[in-house]
Chains A and B, each alone.
Chain A
Amino acid sequence: MIDRRRRLAALAGGLAAGLVLAACGSTADNASSGGGAGGVKTDKGVTDTTITLGVMTDRTGVFKNLGEALTGGNELWVKDVNAAGGICGRQLALEVVDHGYKADTAKTLYPQLEPKILGITQLVGSPVLAALKQNLIDDNVLTAPASWSSEILNNPNVMMIGTTYDLEIIDGLAYLQQQGLIADGDTIGHIYIDGEYGGNGLRGSKYYASKHNMTVQEAKITSTDNDLANIVTGLKGAGVKAIVLTTTPGQTASAMSNNAALGLNVPVLGNNPTFDPALLQSPAAASLDKLYVAASSAPFSSKTPKAVEVANEYKATYPDKPKNAGAQAGYVESLVWQAVLEKACQNGDLTRAGVQTALKSLTSVTTDDLVAPLDYSIPGAPPTRGVYIAKVDQNAEGGLTEVAPLFTAPDAQGYKAPHQQS
Chain B
Amino acid sequence: MNTFLQLVLNGLGKGAVYALLALGFVVIFKATEVVNFAHGSLVLIGGYMVYATKDALGWPAAAALGIVSAALAALLIERLLIAHARNADVNSLALLTIGVDVIITEEIVRRLRADIPFIGDPYDAQPLQAAGLTVFRTQLVALIVGIVLITAFFLAFRFSSWGVAMRAQAENREAAALMGIRSSRVTATAWLLAGALAGVAVLFMATQDFSGAGLGRGTHAIALIAFPAAILGGLDSTVGAVVGGLIVGLTEALSAQYVSFEFSKSAVFLVMLLILVIRPSGLFGTRELSRV
Direct contact of A and B (CB under 8 A): yes
Task: Give residues in A with beta carbon < 8 Å to B.
Answer: 64-65, 194, 219-222, 224-231, 233-234, 236-237, 250-251, 253-254, 257, 260-263, 282-284, 286-287, 322
* Bound form: Cα–Cα A324–B252 in Å: 34
Assess the A254–B208 pair: CB atoms within 8 A.
yes
* Bound form: Cα–Cα A262–B129 in Å: 8
Query: A250 to nearest B CB, angstroms?
Result: 5
Assess the A230–B257 pair: CB atoms within 8 A.
yes
- What residue of chain B has the Cβ atom nearest to residue A236's Cβ? B3
**Residue of A65, A194, A221, A257 with most partner-chain B CB within 10 A:** A257
Q: Which secondary structure dominates chain A's binding surface?
A: helix
| Interface contacts beyond A226-B212, A261-B136: sample of 5 additional A-B pairs, CB < 8 Å, sorted by A | A227-B210, A230-B256, A230-B264, A237-B3, A283-B207
Assess the A284–B6 pair: CB atoms within 8 A.
no
Assess the A233–B10 pair: CB atoms within 8 A.
yes
**Residue of B116, B207, B208 with most partner-chain A CB within 10 A:** B208
Assess the B262–A221 pair: CB atoms within 8 A.
yes
Assess the A233–B6 pair: CB atoms within 8 A.
yes
* Bound form: Cα–Cα A226–B219 in Å: 10
Is B178 among interface residues, defined by CB-CB distance under 8 A? no
Assess the A64–B3 pair: CB atoms within 8 A.
no
**Residue of B7, B214, B261 with most partner-chain A CB within 10 A:** B261
Query: A20 to nearest B CB, angstroms?
Result: 27
Please pick, from B3, B116, B124, the residue contacting A233 in the complex, using a CB distance under 8 A.
Answer: B3
In the complex, chain B residues 122-136 whose Cβ is within 8 Å of any chain A Cβ? 124-125, 127, 129, 132, 134, 136
Q: Which residues of B contact A287 (CB under 8 A)?
A: 125
- What residue of chain A has the Cβ atom nearest to residue B11's Cβ? A230
- Interface pairs (23), CB distance under 8 Å: A64-B114, A65-B114, A225-B261, A227-B14, A227-B210, A230-B257, A231-B256, A233-B6, A233-B7, A234-B257, A236-B6, A237-B2, A250-B212, A250-B213, A253-B212, A254-B212, A254-B213, A257-B125, A262-B134, A263-B132, A282-B118, A283-B125, A283-B207
Q: When A282-B208, A286-B125 are in contact, do A250 and B256 touch as well, CB less than 8 Å?
A: no
Assess the B129–A263 pair: CB atoms within 8 A.
yes
- What residue of chain A has the Cβ atom nearest to residue B2's Cβ? A237
Q: When A262-B6, A283-B118, A283-B125 are in contact, do A222 and B262 touch as well, CB less than 8 Å?
A: yes
Query: A234 to nearest B CB, angstroms?
Result: 5
Interface size bracket, B side: 35 or more
Is B226 among interface residues, defined by CB-CB distance under 8 A? no
- What residue of chain B has the Cβ atom nearest to residue A194's Cβ? B262
Q: Which residues of B contact A226 (CB under 8 A)?
A: 211-213, 218
Assess the A282–B214 pair: CB atoms within 8 A.
yes
Please pick, from B3, B208, B218, B260, the residue contacting A283 in the complex, using a CB distance under 8 A.
Answer: B208
* Bound form: Cα–Cα A233–B264 in Å: 15
Query: A195 to nearest B CB, angstroms?
Result: 12
Is B285 among interface residues, defined by CB-CB distance under 8 A? no
Assess the B127–A261 pair: CB atoms within 8 A.
yes
* Bound form: Cα–Cα A309–B116 in Å: 30
What string of 1s and 0s marks CB contacts (under 8 Å) between B250-283 and chain A? 0011001100111010000000000000000000
Query: B46 to nearest A CB, angstroms?
Result: 19
Query: B50 to nearest A CB, angstroms?
Result: 14
In the complex, chain B residues 207-257 whose Cβ is within 8 Å of any chain A Cβ? 207-214, 218, 221, 252-253, 256-257
Q: Which residues of A contact B218 (CB under 8 A)?
A: 224, 226
Q: When A257-B208, A261-B134 are in contact, do A283 and B262 touch as well, CB less than 8 Å?
A: no
Q: Which residues of A contact B132 (CB under 8 A)?
A: 263
- What residue of chain B has the Cβ atom nearest to residue A286's Cβ? B125
Q: Which residues of B contact A234 (CB under 8 A)?
A: 3, 7, 256-257
- What residue of chain B has the Cβ atom nearest to residue A228's Cβ? B212
Is B120 among interface residues, defined by CB-CB distance under 8 A? yes
Q: Which residues of B contact A283 (CB under 8 A)?
A: 118, 120, 124-125, 207-208
Q: Which residues of A contact B125 (CB under 8 A)?
A: 257, 261, 283-284, 286-287
- What residue of chain B has the Cβ atom nearest to residue A225's Cβ? B261
* Bound form: Cα–Cα A283–B214 in Å: 10
Ranked nearest first, the 3 interchain pairs of A and B with the lowest CB-CB distance are A254-B212, A237-B3, A226-B212
Q: Which residues of A contact B256 (CB under 8 A)?
A: 230-231, 234
* Bound form: Cα–Cα A43–B256 in Å: 54
Q: Which residues of A contact B252 (CB under 8 A)?
A: 230
